[in-house]
Structure 1
Amino acid sequence: MLLAMLVWSVDSDAARGEPVSTVVQMPEKSSALVTDGLESDLPILKICGFDWAPYSYHEGSATVGVLIDLLKRAELNHELQFNFMPLQRCLAAVRQGYQDMILYSSTPHDQLVMVDTVVQYHVSGVIVGSQSKHQSFEGLTQFSGETLGVLRGNPIFQSLKHYQGIQWELQNTGKSMWQMLMRGRLDAAIGDYLSVTPLEVYRQGDVRFLQPALYVVPIRMAVNISKAQLVPGLNQRLAQMLEKGTVDHLYRRHGVEPFSRVQTMVDEFHQRQREKTQKARDMAESP
């Protein structure tokens, strides 16, 4: 379900309700972008993902992003090629061996070997305009009588729509949803911290992500089983870059808060979840 969430959050084809094929056809000519634009004798590592700033996106003719930069620094001894495609197509391509690595995966799949070191989280929650009266997220009941935007097909909506008194505005694309929020036609929107909302909107302080988040899930890179030998070294290099602050530097370089701050948010979220679980157990056991 979480993979489906990512499809609907960032893939415009899926957001419009168009079917995304999981049967991968080999292209006659690759549209991959080579990282350095130079010929190399190194073996090619074909990496697929999609336009999801700040993690992977296009800047002019270049493929850039936090994950792109991390892989370039990971010393994989391969020539890196990046292909953008819908998430389910990318997943199918890696499982079938047409692509070697997927940038975004949240659950194990057959034929895939997951990279254990986490350098990205999918943090979903409520985003409001800077003038909103809401300063924190205490529960959806605080939005009774208000209009909230959510992307059409977003699986999280199934668990939210039963809240009474909220008018839900289903949007086909993230862009249209954020435009409505900025124009005051929405009181809030369900979105992903840092990534779905246009980055410049965050930089300008026009929107706020209410704490705590609705849910958090780690996103991992994964490789086809034929490339499993790359995973131990990649895990080690990513862990080293976390420890040395390289990951934080790259987050800042791409215009967002450092990963360590996101990690703190995630740790606090899990602590609150543990406290809620313990409180529920104590209440259930009390006479």
Structure 2
Amino acid sequence: MTTILQLVFQSLFRGLCDRGLRKVLCISLLCCSGAVASDHAQESNPGADATVKVCYGKWFPFSYDQPELAGVMVELAREVLSRLGYSAEFHKMAFLRCLNEVQNQNMTLSPFASAYSLGKLGDNLVAINPSVQYHLPAFFLRSSDPVKDLSGIEAFAGWEIAALRGNSFARRHQHNSGIGWIFVNNNPALWKLLLSYRVDAFLAEYQSQILLSDELRQQIRILPPMEAEPLYWAVNREDAQLAQQVGEQLEQAIDDGTVDTLYRKYFGVSFRDIERMIASQEFLKIPGPGPVENHP
């Protein structure tokens, strides 16, 4: 499907295309879908009781529910859908299950979809442009391990490396990197495996995992992210009209500063700042979402 090939092409080039290209991709993506909107996307001016089912996974600071439901993407989804006359109904589940539920039309919207995941799931999902988030996969090692040249994925051949199930970078390199992957269900398991010397390293999302106490930071070494992979909101292709409406509102939210405001709230820098850091390959300048005591 042209849609998926275009997204994979964009992802492989580290998400460094400008927003203008993404807008063109969105138009191409939607025009080629040939989809018919579902019941909740058929009306351009829905009633006040219209709801959109949004599924999400725990990913601080993008989506989390302790002590209450919040996060960059949670607040942005509420705002974007509210502008369209919808209310958001949030459902917590694993990321891959979330995409499957959207594919099966049990959920309406997933805020976290990689080009790889969309390609693996087939033609029933439509990515919404523009992207308003990047996945930054990075390797975490023990500081006591010898320093090596680990500039590329090939340098890790023969290593035992842990990663979260569904991590798109690990899934893409699962069978061609020479790495012995161990997949786990949560972040604490990654740290437990590394600090107990049961794996050589773990792969995780940089912006979430750099929330470290001073004591723990002394025990590990964080390598620069391997890439910047754009993530997309996604809906079923039957909801192409909703995808177009949401895409237009995401563009507006970028242009009017709403997205930048949310990123500053949780990261201290704007989304535009993060895009500039990515474009100049200054990954380690990208801040995390705050001190460890603020992590839910």
TM over 0.5: yes
User: In the TM superposition, what whole-angstrom CA distance separates every residue of 1:51-106 from its partner, at most 9, and x where no partner exists?
Assistant: 1222211122x321111111122112111101112233322322222211122222
Contact 2:56 2:92 in 1 (8 A): yes
Distance 1:93 1:150, change over 3 A: closer
CA distance change for structure 1 residues 110 and 142 in 2, over 3 Å: closer, same or farther? closer
CA contact (8 A) 2:78 2:87 kept: no
- 2:69 partner SS: strand
Q: How does 1:1-287 map to 2 (within 5 A)?
A: 41-60=48-67, 62-74=68-80, 75-106=83-114, 107=118, 109-128=122-141, 137-139=150-152, 149-151=162-164, 154-155=170-171, 156-161=173-178, 170=182, 172-173=184-185, 174-181=187-194, 188-195=201-208, 197=209, 200-201=211-212, 206=217, 209-211=222-224, 213-255=225-267, 258-268=270-280
Measured after TM superposition, the shift of residue 257 of structure 1 is 5.6
Q: TM-score, normalised by structure 1?
A: 0.61
Q: Contact between 2:174 and 2:181, CA under 8 Å: does it hold in 1?
A: no
Percent sequence identity is 26
Relative distance call for 1:243 and 1:88 in structure 2 (3 A) is same
Equivalent AA in structure 1 for residue 73 of structure 2: L
Root mean square deviation of aligned Cα: 3.8
Partners of 1:126 and 1:137 within 8 A in 2? no
Equivalenced residue count is 223
- Alignment match, 2:290: none
Q: CA deviation at 1:228?
A: 2.4
Stretch of structure 1 that moved more, 67-76 or 81-90: 81-90
Amino acid at match of 1:119: V
Q: Which range is displaced more, 77-86 or 140-149?
A: 140-149
Larger radius of gyration: 1
Distance 1:260 1:44, change over 3 A: same
Q: 1:78 to 1:159 in 2, by over 3 A?
A: same
Residues 146-165 of structure 1: per-residue CA shift (max 9 Å, x gap): 87544578423433336xxx
Higher relative helix content: 2
Structure 2 contact 124–236 (Cα < 8 Å) conserved: yes
What are the superposed Cα offsets for residues 169-222 of structure 1, whole Å, 9 maximum, x if unpaired? 836343122245467876643222213x2x6328999266423x3233221111
Q: Deviations over 1:125-172 (max 9, x none)?
A: 22346788759852367779987544578423433336xxxxx68363
Q: Is the 8 A contact 1:45 1:80 kept in 2?
A: yes
Alignment CA distance shift 1:262-1:181 (3 Å): farther
2:11 counterpart residue number = none
Q: Secondary structure at the match of 1:235?
A: helix
* Alpha-carbon contact 2:156-2:178 (below 8 Å) kept: no
SS at match of 1:117: strand
Answer whether contact 1:130 1:205 (CA < 8 A) is retained.
no
Structure 1, unmatched stretches of 5+, are 4-39, 163-167, 270-287
Distance, in Å, in 2 between the alignment partners of 1:73 and 1:90 is: 21
Q: Conserved in 2, the CA contact under 8 Å of 1:126 and 1:191?
A: yes
Q: Tell me how far apart the structure 2 counterparts of residues 161 and 225 of structure 1 sit (CA, whole Å).
A: 36
> Structure 1 218/142 Cα, relative in aligned 2: closer, same or farther at 3 Å?
closer
Q: Normalising to structure 2: TM-score of the pair? A: 0.59
